[in-house]
Amino acid sequence: MLILGIESSCDDAAAAVIETSRPGVARVLSSTVANQDDIHRAYGGIVPELASRNHVITILPVVHRALESARVSLAEINGIAVTRGPGLVGSLLVGLMCAKGIAQVSGIPMVGVNHIEGHLLAPLLENEIEMPYLALVVSGGHTALFAVEDFGRYRRLGTTRDDAAGEAFDKVAKLMGLGYPGGKVIDDLARRGNRRRVKIPRARVKGAPLDFSFSGVKTAVATFLRGNAGASTAPEDLAASFQEAIVDMLIAPTLAAARQTGAATVALTGGVAANSRLRERLTAAAEDEGLRVVTPSLKYCTDNAAMIALAGGWRLLRGERDALTIDAEAGLPL
Ligand code: KG4
Ligand code: ZN
């Protein structure tokens, strides 16, 4: 089956073509993303109205490019998988309407996909992983632990009570005057910094060992920057100290969840999975516990349409299709 995936839940417009004959097993023929970082950088964060307006301009060219580089014509596509939530509603609507339009005129079956399911299954694009596995989804919008028990059976074990980890990276980068998005800048700076130079408290959620909380860390950095030591501390040291705190706070619940579920594999996914220190520390910590860590290539960690095609693929393979009346849902639950 050839599946066209379409994703536009946030600030990236993406399309992909995958070939699949078994749930969770696919060959990616193309994966195209139109990134808007340059547009939002001036505002220090994503401006939803600008995101959706730009999606309107880029979505069709992105779909065309995905088909072209896969050397596939629309007539050969057997199914369309499109993100229908969660995300920014204006952004979601652009991709969804595009998919509905194509489905309507071509008669190709379409399914709406939950964006988080895409992230959860993304590690399968390049790896064979036995279920159940544990997935840590860490991005600008989400930070959560899920047990992936089967296709369509996902159990949320823990989530953030406030900011997402990527959001904390972006907010701290903004406080430090490092621009947007902040994750990669902090990661790069931190390589040259002293991780113990600035004391950052590690927050735990009382009575909920699998949950996360990152807003206190951001406040700690803001307070530190306002104090006397702030001006005299090298940005490298502050970046390294902050990053280490975030990594500690991600790893503890992840290991606890792995012990609780008995999963043999931990899959790291979402934009923050690009973080070099998180990869390094999680791999080492997991090894100590006899766990396998799977980290998808960066292009499948960040928002992409190949993961959406895969997440819609197992349903399309079963012959399922959604009505063209399905709507975008900003808070779509998994
Ligand atoms: O998955 P993604 O592309 O978009 C969504 O949020 O869905 O993730 C983007 C987030 C941003 O917050 C960005 O700062 C963060 O991922 N990020 C990183 C790194 N690269 C991207 N955070 C830490 N270290 C990195 N190397
Ligand atoms: Zn995402």
Question: Which residues have C-beta within 8 Å of that of residue 280, sequence separation ≥ 6?
Answer: none
Within-domain flag for 333:
no
**Same domain assignment for residues 163 and 24:** no
Q: Measured from the CA of 180, which atom of ligand 1 is nearest?
A: 14
**Helices and strands in the chain, H and E counts:** 12, 10
Structural domain that includes position 160: 131-295
Residue 224 has what pLDDT? 95
Residue 228 has what pLDDT? 81
**Same domain assignment for residues 158 and 271:** yes
Backbone Cα Rg of the chain: 20
- Contacts by 277-280, CB closer than 8 A, 24 or more apart: 277/187, 277/190, 277/243, 277/244, 277/247, 278/138, 278/246, 278/247, 278/250, 278/251
pLDDT bracket for residue 42 (50, 70, 90): confident
**Same domain assignment for residues 110 and 141:** no
Mean pLDDT of 97-123: 98
Q: What is the CATH number of the domain that holds 155?
A: 3.30.420.40
In the chain, pLDDT over 70 holds for what percent of residues? Answer: 100
**Same domain assignment for residues 270 and 307:** no
pLDDT score of 45 more than 90: no
Mean pLDDT of 315-325: 98
Cβ atoms of 115 and 85 closer than 8 Å: yes
Mean pLDDT of 1-28: 97
Least confident of 114-118, 209-213, 259-263: 259-263
Cβ atoms of 160 and 143 closer than 8 Å: yes
Residue 44 has what pLDDT? 83
Q: Would strands 110-114 and 79-85 be described as parallel, antiparallel, or unpaired?
A: parallel
Residue 13 has what pLDDT? 97
Residue closest via CA to ligand 1's atom 8 equals: 271
Task: Give the number of domains in the chain.
Answer: 2
**Same domain assignment for residues 239 and 263:** yes
**Same domain assignment for residues 266 and 140:** yes
pLDDT bracket for residue 334 (50, 70, 90): very high
Nearest ligand atom owner, CA of 37:
1
Distance from the alpha carbon of residue 272 to the mean position of ligand 1, in angstroms: 4
123: which 2 tokens? Answer: 């590690």
**Same domain assignment for residues 145 and 64:** no
User: Residue 121, exposed/middle/buried by CB under 10 A (0-12, 13-18, 19+)?
Assistant: buried
**Same domain assignment for residues 58 and 83:** yes
Mutate to test the pocket of ligand 1, among 139, 217, 297 (most ligand atoms within 8 A of CB): 139
pLDDT score of 191 more than 90: yes
Cβ atoms of 139 and 170 closer than 8 Å: no
pLDDT score of 180 more than 90: no
Within-domain flag for 326:
no
Q: Measured from the CA of 142, which atom of ligand 1 is nearest?
A: 6
Mean pLDDT of 298-305: 94
Residue 230 has what pLDDT? 78
Residues with C-beta less than 6 Å from any ligand 1 atom: 10, 139-141, 166, 169-170, 181-184, 187, 270-272, 274-275, 302-303
Residue 84 has what pLDDT? 98
Element (H, E) at 114: strand 110-114
Distance from the alpha carbon of residue 119 to the mean position of ligand 2, in angstroms: 7
Distance from the alpha carbon of residue 85 to the mean position of ligand 2, in angstroms: 10
**Same domain assignment for residues 148 and 283:** yes
Residue closest via CA to ligand 1's atom 10 equals: 140
Within-domain flag for 332:
no
- pLDDT, tens digit (0-9, with 9 covering 90-100), for 193-236: 999 999 999 999 999 999 999 999 999 999 999 988 877 899 99
**Same domain assignment for residues 142 and 57:** no
Residues around the ion ligand 2 (C-beta < 5 A): 139, 303
pLDDT score of 47 more than 90: yes
Distance from the alpha carbon of residue 302 to the mean position of ligand 2, in angstroms: 6
Q: What is the dihedral of CA 213, 275, 244, 204, to 10 degrees?
A: 20
Q: Measured from the CA of 141, which atom of ligand 1 is nearest?
A: 6
Distance from the alpha carbon of residue 147 to the mean position of ligand 2, in angstroms: 18
Least confident of 1-5, 148-152, 240-244, 286-290: 286-290
Nearest ligand atom owner, CA of 113:
2
Mutate to test the pocket of ligand 1, among 175, 180, 272, 280 (most ligand atoms within 8 A of CB): 272
pTM of the model: 0.94
Within-domain flag for 182:
yes
What is the chain's mean pLDDT, rounded? Answer: 96
Residue 165 one-letter amino acid? A
Q: Would strands 133-138 and 13-22 be described as parallel, antiparallel, or unpaired?
A: unpaired
Q: Would strands 133-138 and 265-269 be described as parallel, antiparallel, or unpaired?
A: parallel
Q: What is the dihedral of CA 216, 146, 278, 165, to 10 degrees?
A: -30
Count the neighbouring beta carbons within 10 Å of the beta carbon of residue 240. Answer: 24
Cβ atoms of 148 and 248 closer than 8 Å: no
Within-domain flag for 331:
no
**Same domain assignment for residues 259 and 203:** yes
Q: Measured from the CA of 276, which atom of ligand 1 is nearest?
A: 26
Instruction: Give the torsion sign (CA, 121, 136, 133, 289).
Output: positive
Mean pLDDT of 120-144: 96
pLDDT bracket for residue 139 (50, 70, 90): very high
- pLDDT, tens digit (0-9, with 9 covering 90-100), for 90-101: 999 999 999 999
- CA–CA separation, 306 and 299 (whole Å): 10
- pLDDT, tens digit (0-9, with 9 covering 90-100), for 268-285: 999 999 999 999 999 999
**Same domain assignment for residues 105 and 215:** no
